[in-house]
A and B are shown apart, each in its own frame.
Chain A
Amino acid sequence: MSADGALTASARVEALPRIAEAPRRAPVDWGAVAVHALLLLCVAVIAFPLYYAFVISTQTVEEVIARPPMLSPSGHMFENYVEAWTRAHMARLLWNSAIVAVVSAVGKIAISVLSAFAIVYFDFRGKAVAFWMIFVTLMLPVEVRIMSTYEVIGDLGWLNSYAGLTVPLMASATATFLFRQFYLTVPNELVEAAQLDGVGPLRFLWSFLLPLSWANIAALFVVLFIYGWNQYLWPLMITNTEAMRVVVIGLQDLIPRTGTHIPEWNVMMAAAMMALLPPVAVILFMQRWFVKGLIESEK
């Protein structure tokens, strides 16, 4: 959902012009120091929950329930992570999540590149209908159409399958919309020159358009990967076997419910750390494109 919201909304936000840096004046700028202090405080507030979760993942159960809470890491990280890995069948869960995230992201990008290409670079009968059909569906989150989509998946025999987990996530036109916007900015001379040289449409797409839109593809990939990895309600409904479970669902078995379990928050948090690492790594490695891709749609 977030992916879709982000993409459609971003398409409306025009490129923000960069203003030249104001010349620096005073040698010690106390205002800047205060600003940095403020931002560091925010960073600390935002980071503390994750830090604490990590700390817990290194403690024994006794340390977890100690009062006052211990705020520094302990030395039991390794056994907690091993315990979480084996108890939650982590390898399988992570593998499934990776498949869902990568397949849904790559699949959606691929079909959107093709349909946007058809819409921008061809004239054909029924184009208006196709256009309308795609754009009227711009934003219908999975959460909203969940039951009847579930029925469709059941009819197709796709329950407990990767197809059922991934293909419905591709059903949205936001990426098509974004690629269309980008193709419209590509100068006509490029197409004409290519046509003069006898370059066919598919060759043009592959050798000219795709290399040009690499940054957009990267930004979309980040958004869609995170979207796919973090799906919760959809996998919860259409999978009920251990083998097909994704990691954000599998984690929940480890949550200690007050009163009924030993509060093994340490094992839980070790598992959570493993579950959150891949999407966080993706956004950190690709953050430059991510912000750019969302704010400046026309690039």
Chain B
Amino acid sequence: MEGRFPGRILPYALLFPSIAVIAVFLLVPAVEALRLSFFEVSPFTGHGTFVGLANFGELVSSEIYRHSLKVTLLFAVGVVALGLAGSLAVAVLASLRLPGFGVYRAVLLWPYALSPAVAGTIWALLFDPSTGPVTVLLRAVTGLSPNWMMDGTYALAVTVVAATWKMLGFNIVFFLAGLQAVPQELREAAQVDGAGAVRVFWRITFPILSPVTFFLFVMNSLYAFFEVFGLIDVMTQGGPGGATEILVYRLYQDAFISARWGIASAQSILLFVMVGVLTLLQFRLAGRRVVYA
């Protein structure tokens, strides 16, 4: 094939750094995690005993783990649904040709740069049970003064709000960018033909927007599953009573607090599977269902 350079050693030299880093920090740990997941490792001696699939069995039947899975799903559904629906609504309503898009991009995008831990800190301040302005507002409006450091359901809601907030501007900016691909003429033509705004949205705008929606869906899901450790650690540390204990937090507890490496490795493997499913979904569906403008 043309456009190639001859070279015997050079290509290997060029590849070496990437391959070395990937092998040492990705492949070896992955294989090691798989191996450890079949062992019961003593926290005191570090000695492992082969137990087969017992770790997985224990996880599947464990109340705590199932609870953590449920919390993670609730959390992820909350963050993704709230984040995507909210930002899509805003972006679509705003989707007239906007001369000031660049300016809005600047003022909407920055929370994406915030670390989840810092975002968590700021929201802990806003929801501070005695002086936080959101608490004060809630108290004034509803007369209730729930304390999210005591009330599990409320704690989960508060962390979802904090996590969603960080991605909201990012979502809006990408929806707005995607909406620039929707031909104005098409929508106007549909309206002339008597299609209502809702119909125009579902039949024209939404399908054309689907690549961006899909991109954001994957981004937000991965974020909700894996990136919010810092936020949870800062705000609730998994509490109260495990109400916000997402899977990554559970893993951290078992691995580094209780030093149960076997069971923690089995959790890693299950997380691997979940990431794998999300990745596959992304590569499979992205090519097919999605309408490219």
Contacts and interface: CB of A to CB of B under 8 A. Distances in A.
Interface stretch (B65-73, B152-160, B275-283): B275-283
A146 B255 contact: yes
Interface stretch (B50-58, B74-82, B199-207, B263-271): B263-271
B94 A19 contact: no
Contact of B226 (A18, A144, A269): A144
Nearest to A199: B5
The majority secondary structure among interface residues of chain B is helix
Given A46-B169, A49-B122, A248-B230, A10 B215 contact: yes
Contact of A170 (B10, B21, B149, B230): B21
What band does the interface of chain A fall in when counting residues whose beta carbon is under 8 Å from B? 35 or more
A295 B219 CA distance: 13
Contact of A69 (B25, B30, B136): B136
B115 A232 contact: yes
Given A13-B211, A122-B5, A140 B230 contact: no
A98 to B, nearest CB: 14
Given A121-B4, A201-B10, A265-B125, A39 B104 contact: yes
Contact of B117 (A200, A201, A251): A251
A232 B293 contact: no
A52 B135 CA distance: 14
Contact of B223 (A1, A53, A148): A1
Contacts of A69: 131-133, 136
Interface in A120-150: 121-124, 127, 130, 133-134, 137-141, 143-149
A268 B96 CA distance: 41
B2 A145 contact: no
Interface string B130-170: 11110010000000000001000000000000000100110
A133 B173 CA distance: 34
Contacts of B283: 12
A234 to B, nearest CB: 10
Contact of B108 (A43, A149, A282): A43
A230 interface: yes
A118 interface: yes
B26 A145 contact: yes
A21 B96 CA distance: 10
A144 B222 contact: no
B29 A152 contact: yes
A153 to B, nearest CB: 8
Nearest to B23: A133
B109 A290 contact: yes
Nearest to A12: B286
A49 B100 contact: no
Contacts of A52: 122, 125-126, 133
Nearest to A254: B121
B96 A2 contact: no
A140 to B, nearest CB: 6
Contacts of B129: 258
Contacts of A16: 177-178, 180-181, 211-212, 293
A167 B227 contact: no
A1 B212 contact: no
Interface stretch (A29-37, A81-89, A213-221): A29-37
B111 interface: yes
A40 B66 CA distance: 42
A297 B292 CA distance: 14
Nearest to B98: A35
B33 A5 contact: no
Contact of A148 (B4, B28, B172, B185): B28
A115 B96 contact: no
A276 B118 contact: yes
Given A53-B122, A139-B275, A248-B230, A2 B114 contact: no
Interface in B184-226: 184-185, 211-212, 214-215, 218-219, 222-223, 226
B18 A111 contact: yes
A32 B96 contact: yes
B177 A291 contact: yes
B2 A188 contact: yes
B26 A137 contact: yes
B261 interface: yes
Given A65-B131, A287-B109, A290-B109, 7 more contacts: A13-B212, A19-B182, A22-B185, A29-B96, A46-B107, A191-B4, A195-B5
Give 8 nearest A-B pairs by CB, closest first: A232-B230, A148-B29, A230-B115, A12-B286, A118-B14, A115-B18, A171-B25, A122-B11
